[in-house]
Amino acid sequence: MVDMSQSKNSPTEELYAVVRGRVQGVGFRYFVVEKAASLGLRGYARNESNGDVEVLAQGSRPALEHLLSLLRQGPSAAYVSDVQVIWREPTEHVSGFHVRW
């Protein structure tokens, strides 16, 4: 589990991930929203037209790394074949964690 008490003072980072596999039609975006919100992250999950799911998450590095491990597993109905990851400075201001269309 991530210790959120230490992550409050950490600089905000951004995780941009593209998740490939059987990740649409299996509740993947809602799984991401639930897990990210419980970790205190901000951002979104969105389906791509090619069948991938795009995830942008902002928060402390420990919380983002925990989310990344969850992205690699996905919900029980999903099959994740690959997760492409880019770590970067926050590129936009987002509040909350939502599904984007």
Active-site positions?
Answer: 29, 47
- Alpha-carbon dihedral 52, 53, 56, 61, rounded to 10 degrees: -90
